[in-house]
Structure 1
């Protein structure tokens, strides 16, 4: 199977390596020609091991029969739509973004087969062609539009931990809840994921955020038990959350797609989460 990954950030680089290890024919589409050149010359380095994944920087080079995995942030999606329509009109498309705002965009695309995936691996980008796998996890898939069987080959790749889910809203909302608990806390405290469990003050805050979300969304008890939150923190203990990395790099954080989404979807006030949102927004300005 052919896979084209759009975006050579931490998730894009890691998925390129994991899929290549599983036997897929992978290409990666980099935003800059220089990054594509470095990847072609030096490969992608994951945990010290080289993976020879071809890189391109031109949408016109996309294979017509490749799965297109969109591994860019939500804010970059609008800029990709014209290229998707022009150069990959018949390719199956997979959205990998945090949050759920991208579902509206997926509905507007003319493509026949569209899926979403939740990546629960930890990844840290070291350089333009190097990534560290900071936490082993699973990639969970769900159909947004079209034929489920089109995407099932991902769940059959040997060594590629993958699950299929029937309810996309449930799958993605679980990830929003998870990110809403972990990411703002790490961005405020500058702690790694694992430290949210080992630091007693951070752990108490995490419990309070979970309790607040439980009052708003009682389904969280079955959708995302607190034990699963702590287990994921431990499994990705050395991972620096994407929101913290964005803050440290002076980039725009994914506050609206995660935290604001929860605030707007909630039937009740979420004072603690709202305070986190306002605090991080004040830092971002």
Structure 2
């Protein structure tokens, strides 16, 4: 496993996300993910499976210090008292005293960024989380968050896959010393059937999915994988014995298109042009 280090954090570069997974799926797949080698797990209040993840991790008896655990606060809890209460509820469901990373899930349009960041910092200063970050912020919001935050903003978790050009956001994040965490790397299931990704995979004895994950890792991002199928776990983890050439990276980058964004809930998403 490779690690990404920043602001004192040592984050497993490859994480396992439990988005759109039922409690039963989480409790079945997480022990297998641990066995394969995953130690970084990503959930959220809105996923409604924090408790299942907590039960699965506790049952596996992996030492807490070996795990990197992330959760996210949902937008309907962005008020001073409720924010803290929601995090306490998350900790109780997860069965831990502290998460490693706490994120704001979406910027939304109701609560100013300054207020969101103030509440997030309080969670870090009171020991509920070791590190803090954001998710789904545009460049302007990320700059504002970094400027206003007393504690370092560790990451901005965003949609990243070959069909979406996130280079401008990546450049801004790099200048701000903020890591990007990539979700939706499979582009909602389109990557495994992409002819170019398949061709590059064949050259390395890998699948198109493995090529996409390796591409995102090579860009320097933290990368979240997801599967409810045990057979896919080893495939998703087996990424560190091959490399992509500069020419292959450029080819993959050429897949980006203007309509490549998939995740854009109107009531939550920011103006991505900013």
Structure (1/2) with the larger helix percentage: 1
Query: Scaled by the length of structure 1, what TM-score is found?
Result: 0.34
Query: Scaled by the length of structure 2, what TM-score is found?
Result: 0.35
